Each structure stands twice: as structure tokens, then as C-alpha cells.
Structure 1
Amino acid sequence: MKLYIKYMVSLRCKMMVKEELTRLGLHYVVVDLGMVEIMENITQEQHDQLKINLLKSGLELLDDKRSILIDKIKNVIIEMVHYAEELPTTNYSEYISEKLQYDYTYLSNIFSEVKGITIQQFIIIHKIEKAKELLLYDELNLTEISYRLHYSSVAHLSNQFKKITGLSPSFYKRMKQKRQGNLENI
């Protein structure tokens, strides 16, 4: 039986869900971002208790088919941008459509209707979050980051970065260095 969980976007979330399933006596086959497959059918009492316990940790057990689909789209994007070694070389629309086995137009319309932003805007927001993370690690320069995130140029990345954060990437990096310097002086 498959269960879908909203806001499950990190390894820590996966560990917490595994602990919760074990506590309820449920045996899981797979615990993935946003999805859990358990061996047995879940009783209504277990379902209700799991829902309550997940809510305490900021997670939500999904029952509505549209919510489940939206969460699947979000998880594919988060996994693609934040956890994959390299972004796909195909169009994101093809990648998402292939992963979820739905027509992209259908996915796009539902996502926009429910979330109020397009899938493309959601991807851009997450790519900028990844760029911020890579800037903070200070292992890659801006050219390498733009290449890694499949931007056509550093200027394109910089423009999107500024549009989303209000800051240029170099200013963002200087702020980080300034904060570190201030902390070292304490």
C-alpha cells in the first residue's frame, strides 16, 4: 500500500517517517521523498494516528488525488534540482512528464491552478536556492554554478538570482563572508 506525505523533502524527514511507521508497527518497503510503500494495509486507527504524529513534525498525510499529484510534481523537481548529481539534459517538461507518466500540459495546468505559480517558476525558485547553497559552500565559482545548473550563461543565472532574491550573486556571497568575519571576531 502506498501513502503520500506532503512536505517530506529531506533525508531527516525520511528518517522521522521510518521511526513513526515502526512505532505504529507498520513495515515499510520503500520510504522515498513524498511517498511511503508499506507491506500491509493500514487500519483506520493507524492511519489517523500516523496523520496526527506526522502533523506534529510538520508533515501531512495526503488523501486527495490532486494534492498527491502536486506533491509528486514538487518532489520530482526537488529531487532533480537538489539531490541529483546532474540536472537532466532533456527539457524539464519532458523529464517531469516521463517521471510521472502524465501529459505535461495536464500536470502544468493542475500545478498552476493549485499553487498559483507555474512549474517553471517553481523550478527557477529551487535552482536559485541550489545556487545560494553552492555559493555558501564556496567550492564553485559562478561560471561553474551556472554550468552545473544548466544556465545558458552567468548573466542569465545572475538575472534570475537577482529577480528572486533581490541581490546579485556576488553581493550575496560577500554578505556571507562578512557574516563569517563578524562571527570570528566574537
Structure 2
Amino acid sequence: MKLYIKYMVSLRCKMMVKEELKKLGVRYVTVDLGMVDILEEISSLQREKLKINLLKSGLELLDDRKSILIEKIKIVITEMIHYSDELPKVNYSDYISEKLGYDYTYLSNIFSEVKGITLQQFIIIHKIERVKELLLYDELNLTEIAYKLHYSSVAHLSNQFKKVTGLSPSFYKQLKKRRKDNLENM
């Protein structure tokens, strides 16, 4: 049986969910971002306790089909952009559709209806967050980052970055460096 959990986006979240399951005596096969595969059905009391304990930590046990599908979409995008060394060579729409087994238009319409932004906008926001992360690591230059995240050019990446953040990538990097320098000089 699978349980779906909203806002579960990090290793820390996974550890916390594992601890909550352990407290309730619920045996699981895997705990992944947004999803737990448990060995047997859980009682309504266990489910309610889990729901309450997860809420205390800012996580939410999902019950309805739409919410579960939205969470699955978010997980696929998060894993694709943040936890994969290589982005897929196919279109994002094909990749997401294939991973979830639904038509992309259907997924996109539900996502927009529930989240109030398009799936494409959500992907762009996550790509820009990944760009910020890579800029801070200072291991790749902007050309390498653009290539890694499948931007057609550095100019395209820079335009999208500025549209989302209001800053150019180089200015963003300078701000972070100045802040770090200021903290070190205190």
C-alpha cells in the first residue's frame, strides 16, 4: 500500500517520516520523496495519528486523488531537476507523461487548476532554484550551467533568471559573495 505525503522534499523529511512510522509500528518497504510504500494496511487510528504527527512537522498526509496526482507531478519535477545529474534528453512533457502514465495535457490542466500556475512555470521556477544552487557552489561557470540544465544559450538562462528573480545571474552571485565576505569579516 502506498501513502502520499505533501511537502516531503528533503532527506530530513524522509528521516522524520521514517521515525513517525516506527513510533506507530508501521512497517514500510521504502520511503521516498512524497511517497511511502508500507507492507500492510494501516488502521484508521494509525492513519489519524500519522496525519496529526506529520502536520506538526509541516507535512500532510494526502487522501484525495487530485492532491496525490499533483504531489506526484511535483516529485517527478523535483527529482528531475534537483536530484539527477543529467536532465532527460526528451521534452519535459514527454518525460513527466511517461513517468506518471498520463497524458501531459491532462496533467498540465489539473496542475494549473489546483496550483494556479502552469506546469511550465513550475518547472522554470525549479530550474532557476537549481541555477542559484549551482552558482553558489561555484564549481561551474554560467555556460556549463546552461548546458547542464538544457538551456539553448546563456542568454536564455540569464533572461529566465532575471524574469524570475529580478537579478542577473552574475549580480546574484556577487550579492552572495559579498554577504559571505561580510559574515567572515565580522
Scaled by the length of structure 2, what TM-score is found?
0.99
1:121 deviates by 0.5
Q: Distance in 2 between matches of 1:87 and 1:44?
A: 40
Q: Which residue pairs with 1:181 in the alignment?
A: 181
Q: Which residue pairs with 1:17 in the alignment?
A: 17
Give the % identical residues.
79
Q: Distance in 2 between matches of 1:48 and 1:82?
A: 32
Q: Which letter does structure 1 place at the counterpart of 2:110? A: I
Scaled by the length of structure 1, what TM-score is found?
0.99
1:92 deviates by 0.3
Q: Which residue pairs with 1:133 in the alignment?
A: 133
1:122 deviates by 0.3
Gaps of 5+ in 2: none
- The within-5 A match list for 1:21-170 is 21-170=21-170
1:40 deviates by 1.2
Q: Distance in 2 between matches of 1:52 and 1:93?
A: 35
How many residues end up aligned between the 2 structures? 186
Q: Distance in 1 between matches of 2:180 and 2:105?
A: 45
Report the aligned-residue RMSD. Answer: 0.5
Q: Distance in 2 between matches of 1:181 and 1:94?
A: 44
Q: Distance in 1 between matches of 2:180 and 2:9?
A: 28
Q: Which letter does structure 2 place at the counterpart of 1:35? A: M
Instruction: Encode CA deviations 1:112-171: one digit per residue, 9 max, x unaligned.
Output: 111111111000000000000000111111001111010000000000000000000000
Q: Distance in 1 between matches of 2:177 and 2:84?
A: 27
Gaps of 5+ in 1: none
1:184 deviates by 1.4
